[in-house]
Amino acid sequence: MGMQSTGRPTSPVSVITPAGSTVSGSKGLLQREDLIFEVGSWDKTGVDLPAPKGTKNRLGGVTRKAETSLPGLSEPEAVRHYVRLSQKNYAIDLGLFPLGACTMKHNPRLNEKAARIPGFADVHPMQPQGTVQGALELIDELATWLKTLTGMPAVAMSPKAGAHGELCGMLAIRQALIARGEGETRKRVLVPASAHGTNPATAIQCGFVVDEIAADARGRVDMVDLKSKLETTDDIAGIMLTNPNTCGLFETDIKEIADLIHAAGGYFYCDGANFNAIVGRVRPGDLGVDAMHINLHKTFSTPHGGGGPGSGPTVLSDALAPYAPVPYVVKDEDGFHLVEAAEGEASEAFGRMVAFHGQMGMFVRALTYMLSHGADGLKQVAEDAVLNANYVQARMKDVMTPAFDGYCMHEALFSDAFTAEGIETIDIAKALIDEGYHPMTMYFPLVVHGAMLIEPTETESKQELDRFCDALADVARRAAAGDEAMKGAPYLAPKKRLDETRAARKPILKWTPPVPEAIAAE
């Protein structure tokens, strides 16, 4: 052995794996980090400023009576605190995000660059409309793309999220019924059992009554049950249906459903959460849809929150277009302008949902995505999303139990039928965390026992899908074998498994200073 290697092992040595705990609480590069109140103290600060002199108090008697009790940190402590917290976040930039019904796809950096262009990044909603012609034109062009892709004549751009878009569509339906003189008689809205919870919640918020439709053995609307609900039609307001549905399946009877609802005097609201599966392939307007919201963060790759308002534009049919909310953009010989009031050409609008368009950044990102892909690229998005989901389903069907037979759309849905007694879906999810992945959507949709809903999206490569499937397959085999160790997972995450019942019923919502222990006198 040469001098350079004496006492210096140059290759790994097989050893017994030590316990997972460390004295510091850190694990390699994953640093332990306490709450900021525990890190800081009230006797230090990162910035030392002189006390103000001769400054007049202008607070009008509302001066703070007590200290803020905010902890002080030095600059290194503050930087380390937030860097360490960031290392505990799971994000789409870190790994595959298999959340079904969420479409957690890559956010192209080109979109971010476009959103930071001066004039878009610093535009203000209170500017004179003559100074924001470019912004209004962008909104109008994005609206044109959305109308073209959906085959719908009108779109409300103001809703700020999916549920907000649902509300917009159902308010438009309510206003149309009022205009027909049937606002007080047509109150019943049909909602499939597999629907997202926001659907019935939105209907009830709008004053409707929800009538649930059963799912059939194929995971789709039970047409027999639907028709039985339409034996009496005088009270039918409409239907709220997701297509593809929340089981990741295309509703093959959707055109017949639309015809039945229209014949009953109702309107067809389609939840557009899963539009990513059919964009460029199927136009909802051709299927008889009257209203549909579109999640720009799902189909058109804008970020999932975290930076301001989202965006959930709602497309409307000819029957509902007159009732679209203000404000909306129109173009005339003088350029672009916003119709702000429910009067004149907008006299039939159901009202206003927002103070102003505050989601300009989302609009810029979404249009950038559309223009960079083109119509053919968007079509490929849907095709690749469906291909990836079916690949996952094909890889996993031998170790897990697909909820339904046949091909899926953009999501692969599994039940817990393959698990051993005592092993639950949540145990699989927690064990998957130890493999470095965010769990899939669990226990949804409710029509499948122990549901596990996986949506890989089109932006994941085959290599990454194989890595994920390999990890999930190992976890699934452990679940099938009844591995009791899964009930304690995760073991490698920054925090161990919570007592979720206690966390839900007795949450600790704020930090309180620890009570000093009394020291007994000797």
Helices (H) and strands (E) in the chain, counts: 13, 13
Q: What is the pLDDT of residue 256?
A: 97
**Tokens read off for 263:** 């014949």
Do residues 157 and 359 touch, judged by C-beta distance below 8 A? no
Element containing residue 466 per DSSP (H, E) = helix 462-481
Comparing 514 with 412, the larger pLDDT belongs to: 412
User: What angle is formed at CA 283 by the lines to CA 282 and CA 286, rounded to 5 degrees?
Assistant: 115
Q: Is the dihedral of CA 202, 143, 460, 87 positive or negative?
A: negative
Neighbouring residues of 327: CB distance < 8 A, sequence distance ≥ 6? 158, 338, 339, 340, 352, 356, 357
- Please determine, for residue 468, whether its predicted confidence score (pLDDT) is greater than 90: yes
Do residues 206 and 171 touch, judged by C-beta distance below 8 A? yes
**Tokens read off for 268:** 């067809």
- Please determine, for residue 22, whether its predicted confidence score (pLDDT) is greater than 90: no
Tokens 């902890």 belong to 71
- d(C-alpha 391, C-alpha 394), whole Å: 5
Rounded to the nearest 10 degrees, the angle between the axes of helix 462-481 and helix 360-396 is: 50
Quick: pLDDT tens for 434-462.
999 999 999 999 999 999 999 999 999 99
Neighbouring-strand partners of residue 155? 315
Q: What is the pLDDT of residue 28?
A: 80
Provide the whole-model pTM.
0.89
Q: What is the pLDDT of residue 67?
A: 80
Proportion of the chain above pLDDT 70, given as a percent: 95
Q: What is the pLDDT of residue 119?
A: 87
- d(C-alpha 164, C-alpha 202), whole Å: 9
β-pairing verdict for 291-293 and 452-454: unpaired
Classify 281 as helix, strand or coil.
Answer: coil
Task: Please state, in angstroms and as integers, the Cα–Cα distance from residue 388 to each residue in 98, 220, 370, following that order.
Answer: 11, 22, 21
Classify 221 as helix, strand or coil.
Answer: strand
Helices (H), 223-276: 223-229, 254-263
What integer is the mean pLDDT of 166-177?
98
Classify 358 as helix, strand or coil.
Answer: coil
Do residues 276 and 381 touch, judged by C-beta distance below 8 A? yes
| CATH code assigned to 110-370 | 3.40.640.10
CATH class of 376-495: alpha beta
What integer is the mean pLDDT of 68-90?
90
β-pairing verdict for 291-293 and 267-271: parallel
Quick: pLDDT tens for 121-143.
999 988 999 999 999 999 999 99
Q: What is the pLDDT of residue 51?
A: 80
| Residue-range domain boundaries for the chain | 110-370, 376-495
Quick: pLDDT tens for 316-344.
999 999 999 999 999 999 899 999 988 88
- Please determine, for residue 158, whether its predicted confidence score (pLDDT) is greater than 80: yes
